[in-house]
Structure 1
Amino acid sequence: MTAKVLAADFIKIRRTLVWFLVFLGPIGAVGLQAVNFFLRYDYLTKEYGADLWGGVLSNVQFMAAPALLLGMTLLTSMIAGYEHQTNAWKQLLALPVSRFSVFAAKLLLIAILLVVSCLVLAVCTILLGGALNYGWNFPVADLLRISFFPLLAGAPILTLQLWLAITVKNQAIPLTVGILGTVLSLFGANAPDWFFWKWPLLLTQAGPQQAVWMGLALGAVVFFAGLTQFTRQDVN
């Protein structure tokens, strides 16, 4: 049943700006670093001379994590906001589908879109390193880490934004929460490890794996909390 709702959701976003945002985030993040590296090519090549690809990856990650958080905010708001604007919630929930299927399908839709965005980020990062003449022998494990770990570590943020976007009709509220969290994440390097907007930066004391596992665990908790409210609350 969830698969059918998910398929219907994909049809709904065909003529929206959703796919544009999916590609804009990673291309924009890598593009900014491309400008940075090409303008300061000699300096940065010397600075990262011992590990050229490591320099590229660390700089891309610095831009990609906030872009990912902003993408979560905008995508959840756009997809849930479409249902609010067209007053489609009552019609959707009147169908013979469970609220779990509706809520889970929205989450799966956004997660799939963000996975595509992470793939685009990885490809663009490889192209950037090649264009800088740093060779094509890039560290695959590190590339996958900076591309996908932030998404896994950001699971509680994604589920929280979806919860807010679905249950609050005024999208200014989830947008404000998401944008504020994105801004705070920029200064999250020195924040305590319980501050989960820091986790997509992968800067927890025990390393990136800790951020991922904490993100997945808290993400599951927030998902079920949001699902519980969604099943009990009337959505206009």
Structure 2
Amino acid sequence: MMMNMLSADFLKIKRKMILFLVFLGPFGVVALEAVNFGLRYEYLTGVYAKDLWKGLIGEASFLSIPAIMLGLALVTSMIANIEHQTNAWKQLLALPVSKGKVFTSKFLLAAILLFISCVLLFVGLIILGLILGFGTNIPFFHLAESVFFPYLAGMPFIALQLWISITMKNQAIPLTAGILATVLALFSVKFPDWVPLKWLFLESWGGPFYSALAGVLLGIAVYLTGLIDFSRKEVK
């Protein structure tokens, strides 16, 4: 049943701008880094002479984190707005399926789409590094950690943005919240370790693994809270 619902949700976004955004985010990050290194090649390769790949990954991380935050806000809003625009929530919830499965399907859809964006970013940075002549000694683990761990650390925000996007017909509110969170994320390195926005930079508690783990655990908690609230509340 869950796979059928997820398949139906994928069909709903087939001709929507959501898929364009999934590709636009990683393409934008890679393109900006291509311009960055293209214009300042001698300077940046001098700064990162000891490890060019690490330099590229570090530079890209500063762009990828706000891209993740803004991307998840847009994706979750657009997923929820498909039902809001067509006033389809009542018809959808009238089907012989629980509200919990409906919410879960939407959450999985958002998580999968954002994961695809991360995969595209991973591949895009490898291609860019090779084009820039950084060699074939690619630090795959470090690159994967820098791309996928912020995604895991951002799980609470995926769940939260989806929750408010589904429960509010006016998408200006969740989108505004997402934009504010994106702006705050730019300064979150200076925040205390317990602030979830800082986890995206993988600097909390002395290691990337713990930031990602904290994000997954809090993400599960927010997801369950949203699921329970959605199951009890009447969505119009």
Which TM bucket (shorter chain)? over 0.9
Partner residue in 2 for 1:101: 101
Gaps spanning 5+ residues in structure 2: where?
none
Q: Partners of 1:35 and 1:110 in 2: how far apart? A: 30
- Structure 1 unaligned runs (5+)? none
Residues of 1 paired with 2:211 and 2:5: CA distance?
Answer: 31
Corresponding position of 2:189:
189
Task: Indicate conservation of the 8 Å contact 1:126/1:136, yes or no.
Answer: no
- Provide the C-alpha distance between the structure 1 equivalents of 2:210 and 2:24, rounded to a whole number of angstroms: 29
For the residues of structure 2 that align with 1:74 and 1:192, how far apart are their CA atoms? 27
Q: Where do residues 115-134 of structure 1 align in structure 2 (5 Å cutoff)?
A: 115-134=115-134
* Mapped pair 1:76 → 2:72: no
Q: Determine the structure 2 residue equivalent to 1:206.
A: 206
- Superposition misfits of 4+ residues, deviation over 3 angstroms: none
Matched, 1:12 2:12: yes
RMSD over aligned Cα, in angstroms? 0.8
Contact 1:21 1:71 in 2 (8 A): yes
Checking the alignment, whether the CA contact within 8 Å between 2:194 and 2:204 is kept in structure 1 is no
Instruction: Give the distance between the partners of 1:91 and 1:198, measured in 2 at CA.
Output: 40
Structure 2 match to 1:50: 50
- SS of corresponding position for 2:45: helix
Residue 201 of structure 1 aligns to a residue in which SS? Answer: coil
Shift of residue 167 of structure 1?
0.7
Question: 1:149 aligned to 2:133?
Answer: no
TM-score by length of 2: 0.98
Residue identity matched to 2:227: L
Deviation (angstroms), 1:59: 0.6
- C-alpha offsets along residues 91-119 of structure 1, whole Å, 9 cap, x if unaligned? 00000011111000001111111111111
C-alpha distance in structure 2 between counterparts of 1:56 and 1:206, whole Å:
22
Q: Distance in 2 between the 1:21 and 1:210 partners? A: 29
Q: How many residues are treated as equivalent by the alignment?
A: 236
Shift of 1:192: 0.8
Structure 2 counterpart of 1:229, one-letter code: D
Structure 1 position 205, deviation (Å): 3.2
Query: Per-residue deviation at 1:207?
Result: 1.3
Q: Deviations over 1:140-197 (max 9, x none)?
A: 1011111111110101011000000001111111101111000000011111112212
Matched residues in 1 for 2:18 and 2:148: separation?
20
**Partner of 2:171 in structure 1?**
171
Distance 2:89 2:200 in 1: 31
Distance (whole Å) between structure 2 residues aligned to residue 217 and residue 130 of structure 1: 36
